[in-house]
Structure 1
Amino acid sequence: MYENNLLLERGAARDLPETILLSDFLLDCQVRNFSPRTVQSYKSNLKYFLSRHPIRISPEDLKVFLVHIRDEKGFAQSTVENYFAALSSFNDFLEWEGVIERNVVPQFRKRYLRQYKDQRNEERQLINLEQMRDLIDSAEWICHKAMFVFFAKTGIRRQELIDLDVQDLHVSKRYAVLKPHAKRSNRIVFFDDECAQVLETWLKWRYNRKIRISALFIGVQGSRISRDAVYEAVTEHGLQLGFHNPEGLLNEKFTPHCFRHWFTTWLRRAGCPRAIIQELRGDTRKEAIDIYDHITQDELKEDYLKYIPKLGIKL
């Protein structure tokens, strides 16, 4: 009986309007615990695609759309891939619901988008210790200074920083607890005295101005800082100091993700063991020796404080 009802429901799904199917898909993404940012990105990309193409697509439709966004619109490589990631996930849902017989997007991506990935030979911008100190010192607003130093000292991702609340910060104990994130295997990140001093100054600034919002980092309007605001703050200061070229190659740009590269590289150059770096970054260690080798929080913090670069930041 259950199987028959399921078949009836999936058969009925074939005739649902596009708007309902899209809404059902977005709900499905939420049930599968996709991040709000991913759900919103999928929604925007799919609405644009469906404004130009039918819900039941063919490889020819995908070719036309690829030429449109890549060649006519001039979208960046990463943006093109994001569109097709959304399309693939959506069509996987439609196949599951019985709306289409087969999801043709994965094979299309393998044939026509593989060249994009093969061409990624550029390295991201890596600045030295003095340049990082100059970047942090160049921030006139204490919020930006605290944000830059926290990025550098923890190596967290942009969204992880944005999601932080004041209550997640334990300054006296020199650690913060991140929100759950699909790409991170642990949630505790450490910081040193140098970072703590800047954070304390930022928290005092907030207190004196009676900032009540829970978000740790805020934008100029007083609300939780946005992804664009983080990007603009980082790139504008990098531009002023001469190591961000908005029109240049990847290794000529300094973006928020470059902090993660800086954190990883300078820990390694200081002699920090690879396993410790992996734990600090929140990477999943999958080899058998990693699974059986338990690194305690005390060990992790001790090695972190031993190897994290000191910058001599000015307040």
Structure 2
Amino acid sequence: MASRSPDAEVSDPVDYYLEDMEMHGRAERTRDAYERVLRGFDEFLESRSTEPGSAGHRDCLAWLHSLRGELSPSTVATYATTVNRFYDYMTQVGAFEENPMALVMEEMDESIEKDPERRDVDVATMGEFLGRISHPLHHAIVLTLLKTGMRVGELCNLDCRDLRLSEPGLAGYDLDGRPQLDGRGDAMYVDSAPARGERYNGEIREESNKRKRSTVIPVDDELRCGLRRWLAIRPDTPSPAEPLFVSTAGDWGQRLTARAVRHYVRKYAEEMGWYEPGAGAGENVTPHYFRHFFTTHLRDRTGDRGVVKYLRGDVASDVIDTYTHNWGDQVRETYVEHIYRFD
């Protein structure tokens, strides 16, 4: 993923990271926001006579603790994510040996997702919201987000090969291209590899998949029906990657963008009274809200945090190997038995 190889020792890791962000096409406003956070983190480490490359998880915890008195919990979480991405990148290019923020983020995930200030929507009410969406594409993308908990960028990066449906009648679609789906029944494969600005499956991607590990997510009969309804009218596409979700608007047949998905969701959320400009994540229903909905409701129904974290792509290698090797019993059966229905 690196755009260049680092020197044996990077004199200014923050500068190095920001330069690579620029070469990857990140906007100046985004780079400025990252720099403010990373410079503040660097100054904190300097006060502890520590450099970013040698910091440990206790240094990261201490930095976050220092922020909590002056910043909101959501802002602290955003800052932590910024530093985590910085360390992830620097370890991938070989500038750092490890990411000390990774362990901290695993612990933070639970508290972030259980934010008590978020709008509380039960399954029946969410079903009413979904029932208002008649357009097959819009219905399919919202249903997919609700049923899988994937991020909007991950949804946009799905190709037809990432979907396996057992029922016949979908001539013209290659739904057998993923060996990872063999023997899994109806399922989706969400790869961790796609990255913004890089070629993947024959196409330069506009979004990155942010999950830690690739994941196989079961498809229940309700989601299968929604996807089949969409595939029945899906336009042809010029992309050799055969994206699963493509535009039916002005950019007809092109891969659906995260911006378009957010626009669709906002439109329907406003009609439901679930979106107000400036209200923030606590009140507004956005694509990311559906990930929160999935996590909360499936975790409450199963009582199995491990399965939910596997489906979200948030677990470490040893845990994900356990679920991968016994996927049918530990993932599919648990999912199919407990996943909520809207029809």
Whether the 8 Å CA contact 1:45–1:86 is kept in 2: the answer is no
Q: Deviations over 1:73-99 (max 9, x none)?
A: xxxxxxx5x45347679x99xxxxxxx
Whether the 8 Å CA contact 2:302–2:334 is kept in 1: the answer is no
- Quote the offset at 1:123 in angstroms: 2.8
| Partner residue, 1:210 | 236
CA distance change for structure 1 residues 184 and 134 in 2, over 3 Å: closer, same or farther?
farther
| Larger proportion of helix | 1
Structure 1 residue 40 and structure 2 residue 40: aligned?
no
- Quote the offset at 1:306 in angstroms: 0.3
| Partner residue, 2:99 | none
* Aligned counterpart for 1:187 among listed residues 210, 215, 226: 215
Counterparts of 1:224-235 in structure 2, within 5 Å, are 224-235=255-266
CA distance change for structure 1 residues 296 and 186 in 2, over 3 Å: closer, same or farther?
farther
Q: Does the residue aligned with 1:216 lie in a helix, a strand or coil?
A: coil
Counterparts of 1:281-300 in structure 2, within 5 Å, are 281-285=312-316, 296-299=326-329, 300=331
| Partner residue, 2:271 | 240
- Quote the offset at 1:291 in angstroms: 8.1
| Partner residue, 1:61 | none
Structure 1 residue 273 and structure 2 residue 304: aligned?
yes
TM-score (norm 1): 0.63
Between stretches 298-307 and 110-119, larger displacement belongs to 110-119
Whether the 8 Å CA contact 2:147–2:223 is kept in 1: the answer is yes
CA distance in 2, matches of 1:116, 1:152: 30
Whether the 8 Å CA contact 1:178–1:188 is kept in 2: the answer is yes
CA distance in 2, matches of 1:174, 1:155: 17
Whether the 8 Å CA contact 2:158–2:245 is kept in 1: the answer is yes
Structure 1 residue 201 and structure 2 residue 219: aligned?
no
Question: Could you list the runs of 5+ residues in structure 1 that have no partner in the other structure?
Answer: 1-5, 14-20, 31-38, 50-79, 93-101
| Partner residue, 2:129 | 135
Q: Does the residue aligned with 1:177 lie in a helix, a strand or coil?
A: strand
Percent identity over paired residues = 23
Q: Deviations over 1:38-72 (max 9, x none)?
A: x43365534xx5xxxxxxxxxxxxxxxxxxxxxxx
CA distance in 1, matches of 2:237, 2:153: 21
- Quote the offset at 1:141 in angstroms: 1.8
Whether the 8 Å CA contact 2:188–2:218 is kept in 1: the answer is yes
| Partner residue, 1:305 | 336
Question: Could you list the runs of 5+ residues in structure 2 that have no partner in the other structure?
Answer: 1-6, 44-50, 53-58, 76-114, 167-184, 193-208
CA distance change for structure 1 residues 240 and 296 in 2, over 3 Å: closer, same or farther?
same
CA distance in 1, matches of 2:264, 2:156: 13
| Partner residue, 1:150 | 144
| Partner residue, 1:165 | 159
- Quote the offset at 1:304 in angstroms: 0.3
Between stretches 109-118 and 184-193, larger displacement belongs to 109-118
Q: Does the residue aligned with 1:275 lie in a helix, a strand or coil?
A: helix
CA distance in 2, matches of 1:273, 1:168: 26
Whether the 8 Å CA contact 1:122–1:250 is kept in 2: the answer is no
Whether the 8 Å CA contact 2:154–2:190 is kept in 1: the answer is yes
Q: Larger C-alpha radius of gyration, 1 or 2? A: 1
CA distance in 2, matches of 1:119, 1:282: 21
Q: Does the residue aligned with 2:302 lie in a helix, a strand or coil?
A: coil
- Quote the offset at 1:169 in angstroms: 1.0
Q: Deviations over 1:163-186 (max 9, x none)?
A: 111121112232111121453323
CA distance in 1, matches of 2:276, 2:20: 37
CA distance change for structure 1 residues 201 and 88 in 2, over 3 Å: closer, same or farther?
farther
Q: Deviations over 1:85-136 (max 9, x none)?
A: 47679x99xxxxxxxxx88xx99x8799652244767633332112222222
Q: Does the residue aligned with 2:232 lie in a helix, a strand or coil?
A: helix
CA distance change for structure 1 residues 170 and 247 in 2, over 3 Å: closer, same or farther?
same
CA distance change for structure 1 residues 259 and 291 in 2, over 3 Å: closer, same or farther?
closer
Structure 1 residue 261 and structure 2 residue 292: aligned?
yes
Whether the 8 Å CA contact 1:272–1:307 is kept in 2: the answer is no
Whether the 8 Å CA contact 2:117–2:282 is kept in 1: the answer is yes
Whether the 8 Å CA contact 1:186–1:279 is kept in 2: the answer is no
CA distance change for structure 1 residues 40 and 236 in 2, over 3 Å: closer, same or farther?
same
For the aligned residues, what is the CA RMSD?
3.9
